[in-house]
Structure formats: C-alpha cells, structure tokens
C-alpha cells in the first residue's frame, strides 16, 4: 500500500539530505501564525519533533495529513545547529480519524499518543515500539475495545523500557504474593497484605495478572479474537497505567479522562 504513494518532493539544497520515514503523529501545536510543531514517532529514527511550515494555513500543502494519530509517510531534513527538524512533505498512509466518533475510543487512542510521547526518549530508534503503537491503534479501531489493547500497550511499553516489575513478589519486602496483591499510587509494583497501605491501595488478583502476562506473549489480534475479555481487566489496566505514571513521575491527562468515562 505504501509503495503506491505519489511522491511530491520539492527540490532542496544538497547540503541537507532529505530522509524518508514512516511516522505516527502524536501531537501538534501551533508555532507562530502559520507553522506547526509536530511531535512524531517515526519507524526509523524514533520520537522526534519537526516544524511544518505553513501548516496552519487553510490551503496548506500538508492538507489533513498532520492530524494527531495519522499514520503518515514523510520526508524530513535536519537544519544545521537547530534542534527541530523540518518536514518537507507528507502523505497519509492510514487515518485513525474515525475513532473520534466514540468518546472512549478517542480517549484511549489519545492515551497511547500521550504515554508514548512522555515515555519514549527523543531520537532513539525503536522499531518494536513503532510497530506496537500501530498494532494497538489498529486493534482499538477494529474492535472498538479499550481494555485489552491498552493493557497490551502498557505491558509492552513497560517491558521494552525495562520497567516491568515481577508480578509474583511484593515490591516492598520481596515475599511471594498470595492470591491477591495490592497497589498504592507511587509504588513500582504490588505489595503483599502485610506491606500494603490500606487507605490508598486497591487489590488485584495475581491470577488475572498471570493470565494477562501469558496473553501478552502472543499478538494482540490473537488475544482479542480468543473470546470475550476476561474479568478483572479494568483493574489490571489501571495498575499498569499507574506503573507508567510512577516511572514518568507525572500524571497523564488522558488517564483521568479514561476513568471519568463520558
């Protein structure tokens, strides 16, 4: 599909090599009167930010390609002694715009973009993370389901970053957990019943976590096609999201929106 794109490059100076990459648009913001800064997760170069000149103008050459969560092919170049790259041109590969019709699905997709933008270091290529985001967004779009795609996303984001705790032991004292673990905000893992802070923690069935861990070893599509979501998925998702916030040392705006529902 990508090979069939018409290429609309413009001539640029030989000193600035044009690089071609695929990317997901994580976020955009205005720069001055006419331009936009686009936060991107690229397949080849990792997360980066680039300026799109004139992108705020009504008849911009970018059209609707630079909307958040668009999957695009783009041509970028580096400017000497400048932090930000510049976008030369972009083509839409796949739109996730239809997800805006459902509030909860829209927020779930925005959560993926926000967590990726906060979590991933700039300019560190990681093709597995790129493929993860694309698979998760496609699964949300196709299935209309939120919990399993987000659990899969959170699990692999933590694991690829090296921040996934051992679900079988207490993060405070190291003792093996029984049937139930407890999570309190700010912790890096579950606590046993002796170590938990009763006012602030919520309980999780260790068997649910084990079944999620097993399911996340296969593809997300296979997990979703395997049947109805198992019980306890809301709690597992909240737990993994809390671990991500703990690593980030900040709240994610979309996480509150997910909990708030409509």
For Zn ion, the binding residue among 55, 170, 177, 257 (CB under 5 A) is 170
Interface region with Zn ion, contact rule CB under 5 A, candidates 39-47, 139-147, 168-176, 205-213: 168-176
Q: Quick one: which of 255, 228, 234 has its CA closest to 244?
A: 255
Contact predicate 112/135, CB 8 Å? no
Contact predicate 76/85, CB 8 Å? yes
Interface region with Zn ion, contact rule CB under 5 A, candidates 18-26, 56-64, 172-180, 253-261: 172-180
State in angstroms the smallest separation of the CB of 171 from Zn ion: 8
Q: Does residue 169 touch Zn ion according to CB under 5 A?
A: no
Which parts of 38-97 interact with Zn ion (CB under 5 A)? none
Q: Is the dihedral of CA 38, 39, 40, 46 positive or negative?
A: positive
Nearer to Zn ion, 62 or 182 (CB): 182
Q: Report the DSSP pairing between strands 46-52 and 35-42.
A: antiparallel
For Zn ion, the binding residue among 60, 172, 213, 246 (CB under 5 A) is 172
Please state, in angstroms and rounded to a whole number, the distance separating the CA atoms of residues 257 and 262: 8
Please state, in angstroms and rounded to a whole number, the distance separating the CA atoms of residues 189 and 99: 32
Instruction: Name the CA dihedral angle for 106, 237, 216, 26, rounded to a multiple of 10 degrees.
Output: 40
Contact predicate 192/173, CB 8 Å? yes
Q: Does residue 31 touch Zn ion according to CB under 5 A?
A: no
Q: Does residue 248 touch Zn ion according to CB under 5 A?
A: no
Q: Does residue 180 touch Zn ion according to CB under 5 A?
A: no
Helix, strand or coil, per DSSP, at residue 157: helix
Interface region with Zn ion, contact rule CB under 5 A, candidates 14-22, 157-165, 191-199, 214-222: 191-199
| Rg value, the chain, Cα | 20
For Zn ion, the binding residue among 23, 112, 157, 192 (CB under 5 A) is 192
State in angstroms the smallest separation of the CB of 186 from Zn ion: 16
How many angstroms separate the Cα of 56 from the Cα of each of 50, 121, 122, 222, 251? Answer: 14, 27, 25, 41, 29
Q: Does residue 187 touch Zn ion according to CB under 5 A?
A: no
Interface region with Zn ion, contact rule CB under 5 A, candidates 58-66, 78-86, 94-102, 164-172: 164-172
> Rounded to an integer, what is the distance from CA 192 to the centroid of its chain?
30
State in angstroms the smallest separation of the CB of 237 from Zn ion: 24
Nearer to Zn ion, 194 or 248 (CB): 194
State in angstroms the smallest separation of the CB of 241 from Zn ion: 22
State in angstroms the smallest separation of the CB of 175 from Zn ion: 5
Nearer to Zn ion, 195 or 205 (CB): 195
Q: Does residue 195 touch Zn ion according to CB under 5 A?
A: yes
Q: Does residue 171 touch Zn ion according to CB under 5 A?
A: no
Q: What are phi and psi of 129, to 5 degrees?
A: -65, -40
- Residues near Zn ion, by CB under 5 A: 170, 172-173, 192, 195
């Amino acid at each position: 599909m990508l090979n069939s794109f018409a290429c609309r490059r413009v001539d640029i100076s030989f000193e600035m090599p044009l690089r071609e990459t695929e990317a997901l648009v994580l976020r955009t913001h205005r720069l001055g009167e006419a331009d936009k800064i686009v936060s991107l997760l690229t397949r080849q170069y990792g997360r980066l930010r680039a300026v799109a000149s004139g992108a705020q103008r009504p008849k911009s050459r970018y059209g609707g390609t630079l909307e958040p969560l668009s999957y695009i092919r783009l041509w970028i170049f580096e400017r000497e002694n400048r932090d930000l790259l510049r976008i030369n041109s972009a083509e839409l590969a796949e739109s996730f715009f239809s997800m805006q019709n459902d509030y909860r699905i829209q927020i779930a997709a925005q959560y993926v973009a926000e967590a990726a933008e906060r979590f991933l270091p700039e300019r560190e290529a990681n093709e597995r993370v790129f493929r993860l985001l694309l698979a998760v967004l496609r699964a949300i779009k196709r299935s209309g389901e939120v919990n399993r795609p987000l659990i899969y996303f959170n699990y692999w984001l933590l694991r690829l970053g090296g921040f996934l705790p051992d679900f079988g032991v207490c993060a405070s004292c190291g003792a093996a957990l029984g049937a139930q673990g407890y999570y309190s905000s700010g912790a890096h893992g579950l606590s046993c019943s002796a170590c938990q802070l009763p006012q602030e923690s919520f309980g999780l069935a260790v068997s649910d976590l084990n079944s999620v861990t097993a399911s996340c070893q296969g593809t997300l599509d296979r997990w979703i096609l395997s049947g109805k979501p198992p019980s306890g998925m809301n709690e597992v998702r909240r737990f993994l999201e809390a671990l991500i916030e703990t690593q980030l040392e900040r709240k994610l705006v979309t996480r509150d929106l997910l909990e708030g529902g409509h």
